[in-house]
């Protein structure tokens, strides 16, 4: 079985070496085998695991949620738990979308009110941010 040192794994996965070490400390990556010189050696499936972590982060999952999903995957756990985690994430995303839509509407109206000229005092952009902050 082919194994990689941390630099090779970083190059293959696109994940920085310091991030790989961080994921190990956070128990997202299993402890790798070590050489007699104490160098880390990662199996090929570490690439797919790192890519899963990166994709899950892009989808907005927290490290705790990612850890839970990985533990379910490692233990061939219950799909219902994975569905629960994903459903909670979807609710959070929908809430964020609603908030961003409100912010977009206020910012759009505020930009229409701002002439873009003159001193900052009384600037509708700054005033709107101060009100909504």
18 and 55, same domain (yes or no): yes
Helix (H, G, I), strand (E, B) or coil at 4: strand
56 and 86, same domain (yes or no): no
Domain that holds residue 3: 1-60
How high is the pLDDT of residue 79? 94
124 and 85, same domain (yes or no): yes
How high is the pLDDT of residue 83? 97
How high is the pLDDT of residue 127? 87
1 and 56, same domain (yes or no): yes
CATH of the domain at 34: 1.10.1660.10
Please list, in sequence order, all residues whose beta carbon lies within 8 angstroms of the beta carbon of residue 81, skipping any fewer than 6 positions away.
68, 72
Judge whether 68 lies within some domain.
no
Q: What is the pLDDT along the chain (133 residues), one digit of tens a residue?
A: 899 999 999 999 999 999 999 999 999 999 999 999 999 999 999 999 999 999 999 999 999 999 999 999 999 989 999 999 999 999 999 999 999 999 999 899 999 988 888 888 888 888 888 886 5
Judge whether 39 lies within some domain.
yes
Judge whether 3 lies within some domain.
yes
| DSSP H helices in the chain | 6-13, 17-25, 45-58, 63-74, 79-113, 124-132
Domain end: 60, 92, 107, which one?
A: 60
| Cβ neighbours, 10 Å, residue 96 | 11
Q: How many domains are contained in the chain?
A: 2
Nearest-angstrom CA–CA distance, 32 and 103: 45
pTM exceeds 0.85, yes or no: no
Nearest-angstrom CA–CA distance, 110 and 57: 33
């Amino acid at each position: 079985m082919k194994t990689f040192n941390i630099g090779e794994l970083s190059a293959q996965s696109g994940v920085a070496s310091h991030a790989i070490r961080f994921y190990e400390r956070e128990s997202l990556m299993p402890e790798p085998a070590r050489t007699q010189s104490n160098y880390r050696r990662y199996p090929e499936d570490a690439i797919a695991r790192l890519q899963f972590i990166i994709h899950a982060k892009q989808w907005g999952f927290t490290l705790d949620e990612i850890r839970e999903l990985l533990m379910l995957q490692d233990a061939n756990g219950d799909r219902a738990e994975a569905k629960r985690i994903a459903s909670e994430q979807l609710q959070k995303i929908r809430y964020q979308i609603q908030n961003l839509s409100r912010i977009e509407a206020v910012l759009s109206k505020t930009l229409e009110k701002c002439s873009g000229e003159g001193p900052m005092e009384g600037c509708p952009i700054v005033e709107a941010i101060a009100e909504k902050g």
